């Protein structure tokens, strides 16, 4: 089945036999199997077949608006539902499914799991795993791809963990060196949110809906159209990272390195880069390849 899945992408620029083989042997951890977990569908259909999944939740009927499950999956754990789905698409898939809620107490367990994979796709909603997983990835120098599923656009970046750049350093949380169990997560949440609140993101929701989501009165809003966009972005970013990690040259593209986030806004039909560390946006010039940066006053 794997050969059939990868056959029609052969001949597309960068999809060489060498990269295709690398995709087939790369082990991906997907942390968060809800809206962002839909990256699994893109990954398995581009030839990835080694997966680790972490999610504590169960499939609800409202999840069917964006996940490729049928109604009989409702009530199953998302981790197990994804395992069944992936192996239905490609029976050769190796899937380790962990139905577990990640908390501040799980650093040692996460380190063991992350050490066994090649790259991480982070798509959880709670602050503790969204803080802890990047910290562990940084320590282990494991590349991590992020794409906010509720951004309602194409948005993606890679934590390459080269040098000292990390989520904590860019966010200026003041948490470096503090035990994860002792951190005041409520205190760092506003700074954490600012990193991913790129220009225009808040405008995707009506003002009252935005307030209700921020107060926790309703679940975050999402739509299949936009969830598919962000997960396609994450899959493409994982493919590019797979090339880099295997020493394969990329043609006409490159990995988007955090603190820069690549954004395509389908509402305005425009593309730009968001530099979360310098509070600026970059407008790319298609003809020259150059980026014109503008600092924001906000």
pLDDT band at residue 2, thresholds of 50, 70 and 90? Answer: confident
The span from the CA of 279 to the CA of 274, in Å, is 8
pLDDT at residue number 84: 96
The architecture in CATH of the region 2-256 reads: 3-Layer(aba) Sandwich (3.40)
Strand order in the sheet with 94-98: 94-98, 50-54, 27-31, 119-122, 143-146, 154-159, 260-265, 270-275, 280-284, 291-295
Query: What was the pLDDT predicted at 3?
Result: 87
- pLDDT bucket at 203, cuts 50 / 70 / 90: confident
Read off the pLDDT of residues 43-76 as tens digits, 9 standing for 90 and up. 999 999 999 999 999 999 988 889 999 999 999 9
CA dihedral for 131, 80, 149, 144, sign (positive or negative): positive
Residue pair 145/230 in contact by the 8 Å Cβ criterion: no
**What whole-number distance in Å separates Cα of residue 129 and Cα of residue 125?**
8
Given pLDDT bands bounded at 50, 70 and 90, which one contains residue 128?
Answer: very high
* Residue 156 vs residues 36, 194, 239: alpha-carbon distances, Å: 12, 15, 13
Given a contact cutoff of 8 angstroms between Cβ atoms, the answer to whether 52 and 27 are in contact is yes
Q: What is the pLDDT of residues 6-32, one digit of tens each?
A: 899 999 999 999 999 999 999 999 999
Task: List, for residues 231-290, the tens digit of each pLDDT value.
Answer: 999 999 999 999 999 999 999 999 999 999 999 999 989 999 999 999 999 999 988 889
| Alpha-helical runs (H) found in 65-204 | 78-89, 107-115, 127-140, 167-171, 185-196
How do the domains of the chain map onto residue ranges?
2-256
CA angle (82, 201, 192) in 5-degree steps: 75
Helix (H, G, I), strand (E, B) or coil at 61: helix
Scan for tokens 């295997």, then name that residue.
246
H helix and E strand count, the chain:
10, 10
Tell me which residue of 198, 206, 216 sits closest to 146, measured CA to CA: 198
For the cut 80, the answer to whether the pLDDT of residue 298 exceeds it is no
The pLDDT score that the predictor gives to residue 223 is 87
Closest Cα partner for 263 from 208, 168, 197, 181? 197
Q: Is the pLDDT of residue 177 over 80?
A: yes
Q: Is the dihedral of CA 78, 80, 83, 89 positive or negative?
A: negative
Residue 200 pLDDT level (bands cut at 50, 70, 90): confident
């Amino acid at each position: 089945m794997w050969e059939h899945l990868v056959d029609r992408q052969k001949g597309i620029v960068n999809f060489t036999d060498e990269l295709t083989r690398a995709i087939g042997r790369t082990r991906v951890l997907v942390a968060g199997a809800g809206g962002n977990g839909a990256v699994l569908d893109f990954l398995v259909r581009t030839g990835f077949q080694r997966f680790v999944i972490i999610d504590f939740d169960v499939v609800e009927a409202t999840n069917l608006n964006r996940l490729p499950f049928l109604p009989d999956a409702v009530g199953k754990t998302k981790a197990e539902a994804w395992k069944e789905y992936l192996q239905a698409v490609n029976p050769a898939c190796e899937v380790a499914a962990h139905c577990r809620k990640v908390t501040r107490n799980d650093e040692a367990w996460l380190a063991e799991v992350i050490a066994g994979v090649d790259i991480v796709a982070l798509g959880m909603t709670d602050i503790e795993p969204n803080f802890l997983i990047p910290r562990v990835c940084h320590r282990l120098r494991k590349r991590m791809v992020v794409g906010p599923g509720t951004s309602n656009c194409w948005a993606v970046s890679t934590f390459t963990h080269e040098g000292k750049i990390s989520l904590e350093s860019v966010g200026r949380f003041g948490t470096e060196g503090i035990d994860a169990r002792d951190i005041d997560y409520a205190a760092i949440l506003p700074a954490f949110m600012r990193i991913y609140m790129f220009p225009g993101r808040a405008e995707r929701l009506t003002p009252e809906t935005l307030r209700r989501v921020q107060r926790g009165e309703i679940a975050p809003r999402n739509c299949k159209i936009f969830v598919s966009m962000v997960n396609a972005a994450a899959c493409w970013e994982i493919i590019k990272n797979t090339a880099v990690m295997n020493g394969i040259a990329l043609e006409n593209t490159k990995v988007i390195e955090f603190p820069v986030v690549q954004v395509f806004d389908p509402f305005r039909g425009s593309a730009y880069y968001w530099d979360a560390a310098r509070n600026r946006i970059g407008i790319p010039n298609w003809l020259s390849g150059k980026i014109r940066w503008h600092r924001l006053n906000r």
